[in-house]
Amino acid sequence: MNAAPLNQPVRDEELLADVIARLIGDVRHVAVGNASPIPATAALLARARGHGRPYVSLLQSRKHNFFTDGARELFDCAGQGRIDVFFLSGGQIDEAGNINLVEIGDHDHPKVRFPGSFGSAYLYYVVPKVILFRTEHSRRTLVPKVDFISAPGASEPNVFRTGGPIALITNRCLFSFKDGRFRLDSVHPGHTVEEVIEHTGFDFDRPKDVPETPAPSPESLALMRGTVAQELAEVYPQFARQVFGVGERAFAK
């Protein structure tokens, strides 16, 4: 199967995956939930860079998933401290790192219903590095306070907690999360700090000069458009075809 050559412009999905791969860092085990092609790309890129480390579990894959009992094994593994990185999102995310996967509006008569919390609250507490991911960066998604707390970003001092959010990446920028607050770390190419402020519903810290998010290196692009794209094709064939041109003559070298 063919893949996009290196002289193709960097796509947004590739930029986000590269940023996430750097956030993953040197860990043992990364797990990725269903319907998460960009985090999956990042996890496989981190593994390709590390020559087999970290171990990657893609819950939507047969090949890249050692769990045989679905979510039950995922939760057990996380509770035992054997998952180092996981990804969460939400219909709403607020300034405290709380996420909402349930509803907007009055609980008895909600205006919007989301899919549900599943195991987000549990995983938020026990996975050391949770990376929040939202491709729609707007005031309706990044809000001052969520309508419903599916999973809290922080806990009271007397609550034992080994996990929590370390960052939020969107289609516009990268935030880090520390001491209960978001901090603007970089703005993606083509976007501005003023734009981020305009489209964010909560206040956040930022340095005087906010850097631009660096583009993927040629080595990272080669891995994504080669090895990673071929691996993604098994799990996310449509995404691999649209982003990397896997199987399309249009992207042949």
Domains of the chain by residue range: 12-251
For the beta sheet containing 92-94, the strands, ordered from the edge strand earlier in sequence to the opposite edge, are 99-100, 92-94, 142-143
Q: Are 175 and 186 in contact (CB under 8 A)?
A: no
- For residues 43 and 37, what is the distance between their CA atoms, to the nearest angstrom? 10
What are the CA-CA distances from residue 116 to residues 32, 136, 173, 234 (Å)? Answer: 17, 19, 26, 27
Q: Please state the φ and ψ torsions of residue 30, each to the nearest 5 degrees.
A: -115, 130
How many C-alpha atoms does 170 have within 13 Å on its Cβ side? 23
Report the alpha-carbon distance of residue 121 to residue 153 in Å, rounded.
9
Say which CATH architecture domain 12-251 belongs to: 3-Layer(aba) Sandwich (3.40)
The three-state secondary structure class of 217 is coil
Look up residue 172 and give its two tokens: 């516009």
User: Cα–Cα distance between 179 and 96 in angstroms, integer?
Assistant: 9
What is the full per-residue pLDDT of the chain (253 aa) written as tens digits?
456 666 789 999 999 999 999 999 999 999 998 889 999 999 999 999 998 899 999 987 878 887 777 678 899 999 999 999 999 999 999 999 999 999 999 988 999 999 888 889 999 999 999 999 999 999 999 999 999 999 999 999 999 999 999 999 999 999 999 999 999 999 999 999 999 999 999 999 999 999 999 999 999 999 999 999 999 998 999 999 999 998 554 344 4
